[in-house]
Structure 1
Amino acid sequence: MGRLVAVSNRVADPRNHAAGGLAVALSEALNKTGGLWFGWSGKVVDAAHGGTPGEGEFHQTQAGNVTLATVDLSQDDYDAYYLGYSNGVLWPVFHYRVDLADFDAGGNLNAYRRVNQLFARKLAPLLKPDDVIWIHDYHLIPLAAELRAIGCGQKIGFFLHIPLPPPLILAAIPQHEWLMRAMFAYDLIGFQSQADLDHFSRYVQGEAGAEPMGEYRFRAFHRTVRAQAFPIGIDVDEFIGLGQQDEARETYEMMRHQYARRRLLLGIDRLDYSKGLPQRLKSFQTLLAEYPENRSSATLIQIAAPSRESVDAYADLRREMEGITGAINSEYGELDWMPVRYIHRSTSRKRLPGLCRASSVALVTPLRDGMNLVAKEYIAAQDPDDPGVLVLSRFAGAAEQLKEALLVNPYDTRATAQAVQQALHMPLAERRTRHQKLLERIRQQDVHWWSSEYLRTLTELEGG
């Protein structure tokens, strides 16, 4: 394989595994090939300081054996490309929330195209003929088409980290045909789940008239693209090792001491409408109402990290969460016990293994999620002799792999409460059996498997 060129909206130092996410996933392949990681610098420049739409200052640094190349964005481009089209149209629709999408702001689409063209112009001079280019996520869907338009003939793959909705939902986007045509500029498209892959297959055949070529290969617009599910994993040993460090161990001991007479339920999420957080709180409220033995016993710790709070839908969600939390605590709280500990702050990654290990039940109940790595981190953090129980939404991509979790429909708050009750009273032998199978699964398809399997598939493809 030639040099790996990774492209994503944001760039992280691959030496910093504490960053998690793509830094962990890509570090091995980037280091092995002396790779290049390209994306937005995270810097926004306003018009008064030279922030011209469609332009941006270029930066290049070395991180060990890896080159980090970034470009600034103007304030106008950030507002319209990132907040406007990427997160105001694509994010809600891809998470099945067409009602929250803002289709009317035409300037947002123009900026989305303009930034992808900017990325292509800045990246193309850095490329070598035998480079393998791997582009990530919904912000950059048309980037391969822009690279092809200026003569780039390298193998280019794309991975969608969020869900792909069914054709009828996808078709709600006025530019859906343009987006899908752009996807045929790739050689390989990766999805998180078989469900996402099936949605793509149905869409390109039904809406684009693509010819199926077998093995999820499709031909349309004079190109052939291969699509496949590659469920992303975690670095299991790295997360277990993190749990042995002082901060995680101290967190575990503190939680076990502070909640010695309680059973802890844990939710760790960004504050996002896709995560099903109000439904989760209402399920816990139902648990307390219908199974009163859990009063003064079960405590839900819900961490909801701030996210896009300038967007109305997120501000509304924050107010709703605070209102439901207050209602539960005022109805059921005692002088020495509050049923819900709602924390609207980010938590250090170093503390997460301790939090997970101290919790009897994890609630990972999104309304829709591409994968959800918190579910896998919870499994990795458990004591195999006395593991906790994972309650997992059937609408998370992780549910396709993690069949031994208690799978729930998060819209059904009563059934979710019943699953939590089952988890709280599950016999030790059953907990051990379920955990052993789940741990085996996340070890088999960990983050190293994910990146190597994707890149092997991409490099072995014949030209489109």
Structure 2
Amino acid sequence: MSRLIIVSNRVAPISEGGPAAGGLAVGVYDALKETGGMWFGWSGDVVAEPPQSITLEERGRVTFATIGLAQRDYDQYYRGFSNATLWPAFHYRPDLIQFDRDEFDGYCRVNRWLAKQLAPLLKADDVIWVHDYHLIPFAQALRDEGVTNRIGFFLHIPFPATQVLLSVPRHRVLVEALCSFDLLGFQTAPDLRAFCDYIETQANGSVVRIAGEPNAVSAFGKTLRAAAYPIGVYPDEIALLAKDGESGREVQTVKTTLRDRKLIMSVDRLDYSKGLVERFRAFEKLLEHQPAQRNNVSFVQIAPPTRADMDTYRDIRLQLEAESGRINGRYAELDWTPIRYIHRQYERPVLAALFRASHVGFVTPLRDGMNLVAKEYVAAQDPDDPGVLVLSQFAGAAQELNGALIVNPLDIAGMADALAAALAMPLKERQARYTDMFAQLRENNVSVWRDNFMRDLQA
């Protein structure tokens, strides 16, 4: 059987049976354990000089191959083009794009360098699966090294509409690089349509759409296939985590301090794409328009830090701190704080148990590829007394979770109305919505996502 080679920007810190790994890491690691293979990528270390060797660690049938990045490479490839140019563009924020030619050159250089490190480790029948926007030029770089293996690519974030992508300098170079892969995977059908639209309108290429099969794409003198593969979670595993975590100290503390109040729960990385400021203002609007909810509901927002060395992320943190302080100053009482804004990380069992203890899951990104938090929230619920998911129409998960209350994250009053409806929803309706969504999660779990992609890549 062919080995599977996973390539990602970061190699996830997996410990056997440990709680820290997310659904994606678990799904990929399961595939590696079944087939045998290697996980290759950046170690997370920033070093003074480019490292000369890869660190190899064997765990059963899986080899973890990691390497550090020099400071200049980190600044240009990661902080620069990946996260100051591609991230805002792909999340429909062209106003936040920062482009620097040297950073683009660094992005391409690091991809070539990483490909050069991986190439000697490959065997002739290896199947290579590359993940996410940091590594768009990776297949092209491997081809330049003489690698002829099957190479697939999965984009975990949205693929932007053509007119948005055109705002990225070097957009044509990027799309041409994508066409060096054998199979492209996107989270949703709209993302796939956006890619195909670019091929047809900007690259003078062609797309053949075949029902039930990946689209056949021809462009830049290359042929490849492209399809949507919505990523999932393991819902039964999350349900067990949530149930087991109910007696944990953190969850019991929250329940004690809530008294008989209802809980609205949100968990996001601290990022401008998550719609956090709009979410705070929607909760404020709920308290303004529904006086009966004051001192009867609390909103917990957990937002762990991310990319703290970038100005835009420092700015969003300051803005959230100011908004939560202002709203609490307006509505708080001696025995009640409306918003609990927590800027730290919790392990998955704690988060799952908090989801289970809450009455509303509030997941309203301005734009998101999928948003696994929405799926994890549903999976964590008590079937006898489930909470209600309020979900942004711009999250990929909204394509699947029909039992959620779907909102426009820019409509503050509309989100407040949805919160009020969720808090007042009768038990039978909550159970029916939960049952439908949980069945959907089981039908399209992370193994289905992985297996469908690998089937098409190896076909």
TM-score range, shorter chain: over 0.9
1:133 aligns with: 128
Q: Does 1:421 align with 2:414?
A: no
In the TM superposition, what is the alpha-carbon distance from 1:38 to its structure 2 partner?
Answer: 0.5
Q: Does 1:71 align with 2:73?
A: no
1:184 aligns with: 179
Q: Distance in 2 between matches of 1:290 and 1:98?
A: 34
1:171 aligns with: 166
1:96 aligns with: 92
2:34 aligns with: 32
**Bigger mean CA deviation after superposition, 36-45 or 272-281:** 36-45
SS at match of 1:270: coil
Query: TM-score, structure 2 length as denominator?
Result: 0.96
2:80 aligns with: 84
1:277 aligns with: 276
In the TM superposition, what is the alpha-carbon distance from 1:393 to its structure 2 partner?
Answer: 0.1
Q: Distance in 1 between matches of 2:403 and 2:315?
A: 35
Is the CA contact (8 Å cut-off) linking 1:264 and 1:299 kept in structure 2? yes
**Bigger mean CA deviation after superposition, 341-350 or 282-291:** 341-350
**In the TM superposition, what whole-angstrom CA distance separates every residue of 1:239-266 from its partner, at most 9, and x where no partner exists?**
1222233576444443333212211001
1:11 aligns with: 11
Identity within the alignment, %:
49
Is the CA contact (8 Å cut-off) linking 1:192 and 1:230 kept in structure 2? yes
Q: Distance in 1 between matches of 2:224 and 2:103?
A: 28
Question: Which runs of structure 2 are paired with 1:103-122 in the superposition (5 Å)?
Answer: 103=99, 105-122=100-117
**Bigger mean CA deviation after superposition, 202-211 or 13-22:** 13-22
2:372 aligns with: 373
In the TM superposition, what is the alpha-carbon distance from 1:298 to its structure 2 partner?
Answer: 1.1
Q: Distance in 2 between matches of 1:74 and 1:63?
A: 27
Is the CA contact (8 Å cut-off) linking 1:116 and 1:140 kept in structure 2? yes
Q: Distance in 2 between matches of 1:21 and 1:290?
A: 38
1:150 aligns with: 145
1:409 aligns with: 408
1:307 aligns with: 306
**In the TM superposition, what whole-angstrom CA distance separates every residue of 1:28-57 from its partner, at most 9, and x where no partner exists?**
2211221111001111112xxxx04xx553
Where structure 2 has 5 or more consecutive residues not aligned to the other structure, the ranges are none
Is the CA contact (8 Å cut-off) linking 2:245 and 2:350 kept in structure 1? no
Is the CA contact (8 Å cut-off) linking 2:47 and 2:71 kept in structure 1? yes
Q: Distance in 1 between matches of 2:381 and 2:67?
A: 41
Aligned-residue Cα RMSD (Å) equals 1.3
Q: Distance in 2 between matches of 1:37 and 1:173?
A: 30
In the TM superposition, what is the alpha-carbon distance from 1:152 to its structure 2 partner?
Answer: 0.8
Question: Which runs of structure 2 are paired with 1:172-321 in the superposition (5 Å)?
Answer: 172-215=167-210, 216-246=215-245, 249-321=248-320
AA aligned opposite 2:29? S
SS at match of 1:245: helix
Q: Distance in 1 between matches of 2:249 and 2:222?
A: 55
**Bigger mean CA deviation after superposition, 254-263 or 318-327:** 254-263
Is the CA contact (8 Å cut-off) linking 1:243 and 1:249 kept in structure 2? no
Relative to structure 1, the CA distance from residue 14 to residue 2 in structure 2 (aligned partners, 3 Å threshold; closer, same or farther) is: farther
Q: Distance in 2 between matches of 1:21 and 1:87?
A: 23
**Bigger mean CA deviation after superposition, 350-359 or 364-373:** 350-359
In the TM superposition, what is the alpha-carbon distance from 1:15 to its structure 2 partner?
Answer: 4.6
**In the TM superposition, what whole-angstrom CA distance separates every residue of 1:43-100 from its partner, at most 9, and x where no partner exists?**
1112xxxx04xx5531111022101111211010001100001001000100011111
**Bigger mean CA deviation after superposition, 242-251 or 344-353:** 242-251
SS at match of 2:425: coil
User: What is the number of residues matched between the two proteins?
Assistant: 453
Q: Distance in 1 between matches of 2:194 and 2:350?
A: 37
In the TM superposition, what is the alpha-carbon distance from 1:278 to its structure 2 partner?
Answer: 0.2
In the TM superposition, what is the alpha-carbon distance from 1:23 to its structure 2 partner?
Answer: 2.1
AA aligned opposite 2:110? V
Q: Distance in 2 between matches of 1:251 and 1:321?
A: 23
Q: Distance in 1 between matches of 2:78 and 2:13?
A: 21
**Bigger mean CA deviation after superposition, 213-222 or 164-173:** 213-222
**In the TM superposition, what whole-angstrom CA distance separates every residue of 1:183-240 from its partner, at most 9, and x where no partner exists?**
1101110001111011011011111111123332111122211111111111112212
AA aligned opposite 2:11? V
Q: Distance in 1 between matches of 2:203 and 2:392?
A: 32
AA aligned opposite 2:2? G
Q: Distance in 2 between matches of 1:418 and 1:23?
A: 36
Relative to structure 1, the CA distance from residue 212 to residue 38 in structure 2 (aligned partners, 3 Å threshold; closer, same or farther) is: same
**Bigger mean CA deviation after superposition, 105-114 or 381-390:** 105-114
In the TM superposition, what is the alpha-carbon distance from 1:101 to its structure 2 partner?
Answer: 1.1
SS at match of 1:337: coil
Query: TM-score, structure 1 length as denominator?
Result: 0.95
AA aligned opposite 2:430? R
Is the CA contact (8 Å cut-off) linking 2:241 and 2:353 kept in structure 1? no
1:42 aligns with: 44
Q: Distance in 2 between matches of 1:306 and 1:316?
A: 12
